[in-house]
Amino acid sequence: MKNKNRLRIHILLLLVIMLPILFKFYSPILMSWGIRNGIITASTLVFAAWFILSLFLGRSASCGYTCPYGALQEIIGLQILKKKPKSEKADIIRYLVFIGFLIMVSYSILKAGGVKGVDLFASNGNFQLIILVAIFIIAIGLLSVLLGSRAFCRYLCPQGVFLTIGAKLGRKIKIPSLHLKSDQDNCSDCKLCDKFCPVGLNISNMVITNNMDNSNCILCGECIEKCPKKVINYSFRTND
């Protein structure tokens, strides 16, 4: 598992380095532009793939391992600044943003009159789109500096809510999916899992209460690697 999580950190670094290229394949800004204009972009297709994968893998395939924006936040906030988000109460903001985003998407689809075409990289957009993407990248980086690792994911990202819905839907319809499991009897309450969680979850409390499901968990496996007692592990099963 240790080697696996070293690989994850290397993947995150690569995602950050390649962000100037990857934003063309996935950007909330480009996806929103496409929706407003009835255009299918690469961003829309990537997000659709992530949603489908969330039925089986929760938020791990996207947030935990392949989202360049999440990678940027984690590298700055946790790997460099050793700083994590702390407030549980601020989660409500993310759901309010999600509702606003859902309303915007619904209105835009109706206004556009359906799908009009495909423009994967928004080549018919204008230079202002690139400026907006750059501002977005800088903003989420600053949020990690001010509020800690993955602050945007934790407090503002509406797509994280979509993926959480996908994960819960997969469990509701009894699709085998990725979970965390724990053996609380062996827990020494050292709280190393809390220290290294990139989204600032109280993992030790989740273990003690035998409730390993958390909508903010990105199933990255950091708690699994850092636990000296091997209390936490992955499980691929249906929701019992």
Q: What is the mean pLDDT of each run of 10 residues along the chain (240 residues)?
A: 71 95 93 93 96 96 95 95 83 91 91 89 88 95 95 93 94 93 94 94 94 93 93 86
Tokens linked to 32: 């929103």
pTM exceeds 0.85 for this model: yes
Task: Specify the pLDDT at position 53.
Answer: 96
Task: Specify the pLDDT at position 46.
Answer: 96
Check if the beta carbon of residue 144 is closer than 8 Å to that of residue 76: yes
Domain with CATH 3.30.70.20 in the chain: 176-237
Task: Specify the pLDDT at position 89.
Answer: 74
Task: Specify the pLDDT at position 4.
Answer: 58
Check if the beta carbon of residue 51 is closer than 8 Å to that of residue 162: yes
Angle at which helices 91-112 and 28-36 pack, to 10 degrees?
30
Task: Specify the pLDDT at position 1.
Answer: 44
- The structural architecture, per CATH, of the domain 176-237 is 2-Layer Sandwich (3.30)
Check if the beta carbon of residue 187 is closer than 8 Å to that of residue 232: no
